[in-house]
Structure 1
């Protein structure tokens, strides 16, 4: 069982803080998105629509999704099917949790590496968006890299917690059942 009185290791605390930072940044981006859309709706209602608001709102939605991906992992908010795992004894649950988190970690590393390659390519060739704002593509694609790093760190944190606390960590970490 996870002991709530026992303080987490310093490494876990650092990983949690970084995940919290990503969550706070995603929340700020959400507020910026809401402000941008509200601003555009008001101006459209007055008959003077903006040229940039739709483009910026798309960029903010992408940033919100990728910057918040690590924070979502940190609260076990991603989709996970556990009915077979839940039927197993604790030792088998640990093995299944380590397997699933290791696969998730490998995917996150591969995704982040691919995103970094894309950003490097766009930087090297100085690609810009083909829209009115002409935003450098490396800046937009950089959100994928940041999100990938945050997802890697959150998955690593979960893996460390499973090693430290066993299957009890994943048993209590669920964000709720849907029936």
Structure 2
């Protein structure tokens, strides 16, 4: 399919990858800090104490960003897991309508999620909510990533829905799914 907002979806993919690289970098720094402590105590010096406070909490929030920012990118590249065992056997003129039904359900659920994520974000900002744990991180930061990733996913689903609808109305027998290699 030809996605008009493809650069936006790719931006989401890059943000997702950045979150994953940050997780990897922070964990590597923590491991190096612990190795430095082991080495320092082995040579008779005291512990250096090279630790990153709240590492699990920070990595958890980065994982939320990686997950939600990557939704639209993986969808347009057909990397979501889809079970096409049943609809893959249908002739194109029927499959296009089943695809429309599936896309409609997915889009409705995604819009529902975005609506409630927006209200969750607004409440977190209004009440100044922060995370529990060693670090007091404002909850609107990871919630913003969740909302932005969900909105991007809604846009990708909407574009796919619209293009599939055009095929279903004009030439349903010419429907060729982009994910023929998916199982």
Matched-pair contact (CA < 8 Å) for 2:96–2:175 = no
> Using the alignment, how far apart are the partners of 2:36 and 2:102 within structure 1?
52
Corresponding residue of 1:144: 146
| SS in structure 2 at match of 1:136 | coil
C-alpha displacement at 1:161, in angstroms? 2.9
Corresponding residue of 2:32: 42
Give CA-to-partner distance per residue, 1:145-174, whole Å, 9 cap, x none. 111101101111221332345576662335
Selected match of 1:87 from 86, 89, 93: 89
Unaligned runs of 5+ in 2: 38-48
Corresponding residue of 1:54: 56
In structure 2, relative to structure 1, the CA distance for the partners of 1:59 and 1:170 (3 Å cut) is farther
Matched-pair contact (CA < 8 Å) for 2:54–2:134 = yes
> Using the alignment, how far apart are the partners of 2:34 and 2:125 within structure 1?
35
C-alpha displacement at 1:31, in angstroms? 1.1
> Using the alignment, how far apart are the partners of 1:94 and 1:22 within structure 2?
28
Aligned runs of 1:107-122 on 2, under 5 Å? 107-122=109-124
Corresponding residue of 1:171: 177
> Using the alignment, how far apart are the partners of 2:182 and 2:26 within structure 1?
34
Corresponding residue of 2:20: 30
| SS in structure 2 at match of 1:115 | helix
Selected match of 1:158 from 160, 165, 168: 160
Give CA-to-partner distance per residue, 1:88-122, whole Å, 9 cap, x none. 11111110011100110001100011111111111
C-alpha displacement at 1:64, in angstroms? 0.3
| SS in structure 1 at match of 2:86 | helix
> Using the alignment, how far apart are the partners of 1:75 and 1:20 within structure 2?
10
Q: TM-score, normalised by structure 1?
A: 0.84
Give CA-to-partner distance per residue, 1:123-147, whole Å, 9 cap, x none. 1111111222211111121121111
Backbone CA RMSD of aligned residues: 1.9
Q: TM-score, normalised by structure 2?
A: 0.83
> Using the alignment, how far apart are the partners of 1:133 and 1:40 within structure 2?
16
Unaligned runs of 5+ in 1: 3-7
Equivalent residue pairs, number: 167
